[in-house]
Structure 1
Amino acid sequence: MRLEADRERTRLKGLEFAGPLRIQRPFYPEGGVCHLYVLHPPGGLVSGDRLAISVHAGAGSQSLLTTPSAGKIYGRDSDGVAQGQSVFLQLADNAGCEWLPQETIVYRDANAVLDTRIELSGDARFIGWDLVCLGRPAAGETFDAGRLSQAIRLWRDGRLLLNERLQLEGGDSLRHSRVGLAGHCVFGTLLASGPGLGDELIMQLREVLPTPDFTVTERLGVLLVRYLGSDMSACRGGLWRAWALIRPAVLARPACIPRIWLT
């Protein structure tokens, strides 16, 4: 999809799609900022499924993209064929974009591949997050078999500022190690890049987010808020609070919760 700004608002100017992946019509709950919901009617991914989302945010455009519900990655087939999603976000100078999907649930015995790539130009501003639940703890299902490959990368003007990769096997000791997931099944990362990421904001975040479940760091102009625990509601709620503080600093506007989050 291609987003472009005019004098009144940001508009969805180009959209190409194949398969059951769609964009609902744009919403404008806060004036000129374009809110878009990425829809995948099947609701989950089986072996061989690949979702590819590519967004170009033109100069000066202002957008927020989210999903209406949690994504699901089901158990793999007998051949172990991978399934997953790739997201490519390209922001031109002075664009502001938020990528705030709801959580991804990785079922036992899945072979999941998640890849997020963000390219910023000039004074582009970005806020995004990635929330993952391994297994279905409420149903007593643990992620003791399967595989997850996750990558998050962010560039600004061609310089790589963040490069994170996770390779996790269901039976891996990394799941229980203190230097890994420490036995937890829910983790989330919020990242932001743009103006306003000063010490005062970091102190505010550390005051409102409980430790040790949440941590806050900043390096090379990229702010990271992380959660590690076993409660997706706590993860989601904490990152919502963090986002409400970060958004005014980075994008110069108060938090405006997409109504789909409340349905």
Structure 2
Amino acid sequence: MSLLAAAASMLGIAPVLSPMGGLHAAELKVLAGGSMTGVLTELGPQFERASGHKLVIHFDTAPNLIKLATSGEPFDLGIVPIDVFKDGAARAKFGPPIEVARVGYGVAVRAGAPKPDVGTVDAFKKTLLDAKSITFLPASAAGAYILKVFERIGIDEAMKAKTKAQTAPGQIVPAVINGDAEIAVFVNNLLTAPGVEIVGPFPPELQQELVFPAAVATDTKEAAAAKAFIDYLTSPAAASAIRAKGMTPR
């Protein structure tokens, strides 16, 4: 068995996908949710080494991913927030979705700062109303849910004046570290970082998990390679890496 085939076997990837097995090496254009950055940055290169395929991953927010999926520009698969599949035009661009990972919501403060109470709905509400400023990414699937939570508990208007809106997931933690915002609210895996500490999850009554399914693009010419990547992401070998990045594998 070749070294490449052996690596593929260890990673749970069918050895027949190896270019050395007679198939060409594909370049896969992947649309991915920003919250999957940590997972795919680790697992993507492993898949490339084992399969011989190359991944070109574009990370973005749900609204932008919907625009990209429906733009007519070619892509091969998506690993995107479930909200993308709720858009009819975008959904038509994908085959059957398979869940890869999910993650809940939490609250974080700068490391060493006092940790407010978020254990109940009333405490969570008071903490946000007492905060001088909060930060998250409103223009995203996670942000859309957070805005619904604010509306549900009657603080949506008050939060507008306190919100330091970010334009990319990677800006949330730095905003808390450098003092631009007192509190961050977002999905837990993106709040698990040096310099900040998670105070706790959203109260059970307000908690919801953001699901990330994967699906092959309906118009792809690289369906076999795209499916192989999805198979790897849903394999036991990938599950431990997904869990280590603060998400729950399927």
Q: TM-score, normalised by structure 1?
A: 0.28
For the pair shown, which has the larger CA radius of gyration, 1 or 2?
A: 2
Considering fraction of residues, name the structure with more strand.
Answer: 1
Please identify which structure carries the higher helix content.
2
